[in-house]
């Protein structure tokens, strides 16, 4: 049906038209009556000048989100919001006047990430609007921190996220610590017990962050973990909210670092999450990670700093400068071959940045979580070892199959990962779906991974001279046995599998 434009309607009726309140888009400041928790909409301020309509929507997760691509459509303002991440799924968001034209309220509808909303806001007084100002969290001036030599080899341990997400509690963490000891994994090198997202509660009157009810006493938990020869890790975000929506460290960086030190924490994963709305340039991301690096230094406790900003802004080039000991090079791993291979083979960071005390981190392990075959998990572990990647277990170590445990505990594979030269292995040769990776080790030997990325078994014939190698002895690291040394060798590599060798000159 055709809609009559008001002016046209006035002409037809032969009357002077006074625009009803509804005919124009809603300028002014409005306070939301409700909001989905994510992103916690609080206030919308919208207006126009010679350059057109513009405004901001303030949210608990992201602070002030500028309206983008703003246009009007009849009496509605239509826009998108920018939260620092151009890949965030989002619909057009529509702000429309509703209700009694005198008092008036507005309705905002749309979708951002997983939140679909249809919410109303009433006109705010200047004082009420002001009270919803999002506080600024000033960033420090640019500095380069002194080296923090807390991770001479890639950190090894366990983290709650891949298997448990935020369904984690004090009791399970204690059981995991016990299982790491009983299974021999601690003695194999896996010493960090890292609580990922989901431990955070609320801040007390002094602003000090409390754990939630699932973690009654963090200090006692740290004592328990330390008494078993293990170390305790924790997790936070520079943003107001963590990725799972828990309290972040925005505005409390120093205080939170001190709280962790007081509890006896040894490792901190610092995950950008909602901070991406505040820090979406190379300079501001650097500055907010620097702020936490400096806060950890100020505690005088040795706390390994794990940067998690998904590899943005070439993090490897400056991760050490902000006090980081490892830095994620990618988005999140999933427990399937395609995800693991994409991360491990194709997005493994820049090799010259990795090395003692600063490691490219292609994310935590999925070995033992059930989504890959044994051959694929061997590839996962072998790739991470070739990359000198942190080995942070992501499975339930309380109930592993013997096969999983054997894989994770293999000392000759761990030795490749933990080699003190800290070199990042790289592909030396590609032949169809077969990739041959080499990694030079501190004792002059070379680790060789013959990876088959194809869908059927492969029979590559390898000549050591092709790889520039002249081995006097060859170890097969899965079978833990010697391989006959000749000029080369024909291998059978299963689909998605790997033959992993150490060539000793």
- For ligand GLA, the closer CB: 366 or 376: 366
Q: What is the DSSP string of 287-305?
A: HHHHHHHHHHHHHTS--EE
Give the shortest CB-292-to-ligand GLA separation in angstroms: 15
- For ligand GLA, the closer CB: 164 or 491: 164
Active site residue 137: no
Applying CB under 6 A, which residues contact ligand GLA?
Answer: 161, 196-197, 242-244, 271, 308, 332
Q: Which two tokens stand for residue 432?
A: 């169809």
Give the shortest CB-237-to-ligand GLA separation in angstroms: 8
Cβ contacts of 443 within 8 Å, gap of 6 or more:
504
- For ligand GLA, the closer CB: 196 or 376: 196
Using a 10 angstrom Cβ sphere, with 0-12 exposed, 13-18 middle and 19 or more buried, the burial of residue 150 is middle
Q: Decide the pairing of beta strands 426-431 and 461-463.
A: unpaired
What letter does residue 495 receive in the DSSP assignment? T
Single out the catalytic residue among 137, 166, 266, 271.
271
- For ligand GLA, the closer CB: 332 or 476: 332
- For ligand GLA, the closer CB: 59 or 306: 306
Distance, in Å, from the CA atom of 80 to the CA atom of 78, rounded to the nearest integer, reads 7
Q: What is the DSSP string of 332-385?
A: ---SSHHHHHIIIII----GGG-BTTBEEE-----TTSSSS-HHHHHHHHHHHH
Closest CA to 388 of 441, 323, 343, 450: 441
Give the shortest CB-310-to-ligand GLA separation in angstroms: 7
CB count in 10 Å sphere of residue 356: 16
- For ligand GLA, the closer CB: 159 or 183: 159
- For ligand GLA, the closer CB: 197 or 396: 197
CB count in 10 Å sphere of residue 180: 26
CA distances from 495 to 170, 479, 500 (A): 40, 18, 14
Active site residue 271: yes
What letter does residue 3 receive in the DSSP assignment? P
Contact (Cβ atoms closer than 8 angstroms) between residue 245 and residue 239: no
Closest CA to 196 of 400, 364, 384: 364
Torsion of CA 236, 237, 240, 246, to 10 degrees: -40
Q: Kindly list the catalytic residues.
A: 271, 332
């Amino acid at each position: 049906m055709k809609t009559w434009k008001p002016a046209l309607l006035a002409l037809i009726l032969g009357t002077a038209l006074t625009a009803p309140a509804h005919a124009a888009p809603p300028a002014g400041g409005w306070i939301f009556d409700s909001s989905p928790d994510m992103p916690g909409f609080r206030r919308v301020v919208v207006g126009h000048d010679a350059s057109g309509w513009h405004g901001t929507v303030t949210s608990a997760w992201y602070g002030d989100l500028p309206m983008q691509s703003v246009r009007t459509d009849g009496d509605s303002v239509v826009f998108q919001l920018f939260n620092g991440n151009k890949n965030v799924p989002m619909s057009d968001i529509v702000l429309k006047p509703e209700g009694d034209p005198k008092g008036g309220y507005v309705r905002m509808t749309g979708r951002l990430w997983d939140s679909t909303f249809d919410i109303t806001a009433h006109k705010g007084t200047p004082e009420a609007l002001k009270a919803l100002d999002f506080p600024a969290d000033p960033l420090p001036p640019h500095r380069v921190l002194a080296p923090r030599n807390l991770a001479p080899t890639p950190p090894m341990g366990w983290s709650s996220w891949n298997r448990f997400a935020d369904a984690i509690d004090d009791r399970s963490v204690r059981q995991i610590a016990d299982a790491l000891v009983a299974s021999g994994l601690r003695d194999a090198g896996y010493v960090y017990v890292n609580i990922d997202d989901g431990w955070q509660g609320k801040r007390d009157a002094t602003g000090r962050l409390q754990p939630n009810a699932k973690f009654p006493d963090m200090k006692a938990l740290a004592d328990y973990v330390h008494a078993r020869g293990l170390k305790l890790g924790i997790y936070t975000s520079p943003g107001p909210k963590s990725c799972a929506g828990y309290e972040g460290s925005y505005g409390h960086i120093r205080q939170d670092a001190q709280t962790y030190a007081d509890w006896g924490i040894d490792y901190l994963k610092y995950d950008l999450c909602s901070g991406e709305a505040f820090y979406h340039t190379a300079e501001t991301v650097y500055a907010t990670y620097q702020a936490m690096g400096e806060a950890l230094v100020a505690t005088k406790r040795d706390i390994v700093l794990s940067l998690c900003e998904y590899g943005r802004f070439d993090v490897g080039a400056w991760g050490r400068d902000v006090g980081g000991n490892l830095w994620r090079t990618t988005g999140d791993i999933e427990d399937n071959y395609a995800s693991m291979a994409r991360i491990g083979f194709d997005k493994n960071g820049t090799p010259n940045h990795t090395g003692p005390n600063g490691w490219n981190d292609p994310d935590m392990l999925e070995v033992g979580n059930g989504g890959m075959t044994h051959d694929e998990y061997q590839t996962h572990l072998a790739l991470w070892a070739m990359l000198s990647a942190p080995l942070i277990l992501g499975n339930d170590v309380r109930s592993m199959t013997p096969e999983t445990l054997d894989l994770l505990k293999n000392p000759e594979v761990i030795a490749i990962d933990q080699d003190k030269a800290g070199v990042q292995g790289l592909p030396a040769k590609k032949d169809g779906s077969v990739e041959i990776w080499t990694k030079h080790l501190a004792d002059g030997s070379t680790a060789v991974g013959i990876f088959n990325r194809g869908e059927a078994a492969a029979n590559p014939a390898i000549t050591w001279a092709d790889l520039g190698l002249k081995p006097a002895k060859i170890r097969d690291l899965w079978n833990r046995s010697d391989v006959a040394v000749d000029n080369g060798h024909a291998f059978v590599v299963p689909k998605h599998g790997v033959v992993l060798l150490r060539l000793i000159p």
